[in-house]
Amino acid sequence: MTPFRTATEVADGIRRGELSARDLTEQLFARIDASTVNAVIATCRESALEAASEADRAVARGDDAGPLHGVPMTVKDAFAVQGLPTTWGEPAFAACVADEDAAVVRRLRAAGAIVVGKTNVHHLLADFGRTENPLHGRTLNPRDHARTPGGSSGGAAAALADGLTYLEYGSDLAGSIRIPAAYCGVHGLKPTPGTVPLRGFQPPGPPASLAREFPLTVGPLARSAADLRLALRVTGGPVRPSRRSRLEDFSVGVVLDDPACPVTGEVGAVLSDAVDALARAGVRIHEGRPADVDLAAQAEAFGFQVELFFASQEGRDLAGAAKQERRRAVFTAAWARYFADVDVFLCPTVFTTAPAHDDRKRYDDQVFWIAQASLPGLPAVSAPARQAGLQIVGPAHEDDTAITFAELAADVVGGFVPPREGSSRVLDR
């Protein structure tokens, strides 16, 4: 029972009676206990094992099984999980135990998933480049412990890469799903904003409604694109079917570098090889950015949107907000025109591979490529392409088009590969 199977494979095996949910959950807890990456920071062993046993009994009885029946999984510590603390990495919240599940957690359980624990986050989710906090400490990258797993969903991505969970759920305001996915070599989806409910994703306290939700999204991380689709279907609203079902039918836009944020030679070479392989597979490649979209200007405009998000939560007004909203609308319209002829847009997730841990370093420059999907509110998948993250941006509300391309492209550009035990190389293949 390999810990690196996908959630889809595990769910199928449990429903057929070929796998035991109880055995899988026990083995997962054993791996969590033995892991040295500090990804899983809270568990609910007794209730999870009982739920797993009941899942096996339900299969034996022939009961109807949900799409995630018996699959053990974890969620980011920022989600409320009944009976577990919701800490956001803040010591003052250490004893704040949730009395109900977040909306996402309820929907995952309704689909049959077994939530076994929670994964580490950066302190108050305030960094997308690393994951560490004064309550639970630092999370390491399973592919190289000297490297960061990214943040703030670094615990989520590290848990998947280390075989400590079969599925994860995180959040993405400024790349907090996509950056960790790229650094740890797993898949991560930032859905179209509004697709997945945010209720229960908050620090401890009375239920709150966000004054402004954009550009915050919550979405799944997984070891396969098929798992992303499955997780989105059970937690989100209606999702349009993919435009294409065969790789060779896709029309794909590509930009792999920009003077405002040059990619490293390593990332550039890997992604260039990936695009060449896609072209050989029959994908129609269109090089160049969308008309009327300046990537540097879009990244700068996204920075204002993030600032506006935090200002709205604090009850502050920002000068120039109306002008910036009009600017966002112009970029959004340009992308809509672009996707009339192109199915997905490919670019780097980040310009580099996972950097070394460095408490003195800020990681602001990592958001440049993230912004290209975030500002216009587009769905985006970060998919592993050897040691780099390939960002697949889809049309608004067409998340499954991006997911399907990632799924079909995996055989060409490479999908998830488990880290080698004891590896000292970044994303060693």
Residue 427 has pLDDT above 60, yes or no: no
Q: What is the DSSP string of 205-256?
A: SS----S--TT-EEEEEESSHHHHHHHHHHHSS--PPPS-SSGGG-EEEE--
How much is the average pLDDT of 387-396?
A: 97
pLDDT bracket for residue 360 (50, 70, 90): low
Q: Is 388 within 8 Å of 353 (Cβ atoms)?
A: yes
Provide the pLDDT for residue 361.
61
CA distance 218 to 232: 10
Provide the pLDDT for residue 1.
57
- Name the residue type at position 401: T
Provide the pLDDT for residue 313.
84
Residue 428 has pLDDT above 50, yes or no: no
Which neighbouring-strand residues pair with 115? 73
- The structural domains of the chain, ordered by start, are 7-235 (3.90.1300.10), 247-413 (3.90.1300.10)
Q: Look up residue 164 and give its two tokens.
A: 């400590």
Give the rounded percent of residues in the chain with a pLDDT score beyond 70. Answer: 97
| Catalytic option among 76, 118, 153, 374 | 76
Q: Is 133 within 8 Å of 120 (Cβ atoms)?
A: yes
How high does pLDDT run on average in the chain?
94
88 CB-near residues (< 8 Å, 6+ apart): 77, 78, 121, 123, 124, 125, 133, 203
pTM equals 0.96
Specify the DSSP element, H or E, that contains 192: none
Residue 364 has pLDDT above 80, yes or no: no
pLDDT bracket for residue 314 (50, 70, 90): confident
Residue 405 has pLDDT above 70, yes or no: yes
Q: Is 5 within 8 Å of 166 (Cβ atoms)?
A: yes
Q: Look up residue 204 and give its two tokens.
A: 């401890």
Provide the pLDDT for residue 201.
96
- Name the residue type at position 116: V
Residue 365 has pLDDT above 90, yes or no: no
Is the omega angle on the peptide bond into residue 152 within 30 degrees of 0, that is, cis? yes
Please indicate whether residue 76 is annotated as part of the active site: yes
pLDDT bracket for residue 426 (50, 70, 90): very low
The answer to which of 13-17, 246-250, 310-314 has the lowest mean pLDDT is 310-314
Using a 10 angstrom Cβ sphere, with 0-12 exposed, 13-18 middle and 19 or more buried, the burial of residue 64 is: exposed
Provide the pLDDT for residue 423.
42
Please indicate whether residue 176 is annotated as part of the active site: yes
The separation between CA 413 and the C-alpha centre of its own chain, rounded to angstroms, equals 19
The separation between CA 398 and the C-alpha centre of its own chain, rounded to angstroms, equals 17
| Catalytic option among 20, 153, 176, 382 | 176
| Catalytic option among 152, 153, 171, 374 | 152
Q: pLDDT tens, 59-103? A: 999 999 999 999 999 999 999 999 999 999 999 999 999 999 999
Residue 285 has pLDDT above 70, yes or no: yes
CA distance 52 to 37: 25
How much is the average pLDDT of 233-243?
A: 93
CA distance 192 to 399: 7
Q: What is the DSSP string of 361-415?
A: ---GGGHHHHHHHHTTT--EEEEEETTEEEEEE--TT-HHHHHHHHHHHHHHH--
The answer to which of 231-245, 260-274, 302-316 has the lowest mean pLDDT is 302-316
Q: pLDDT tens, 110-131? A: 999 999 999 999 999 999 999 9
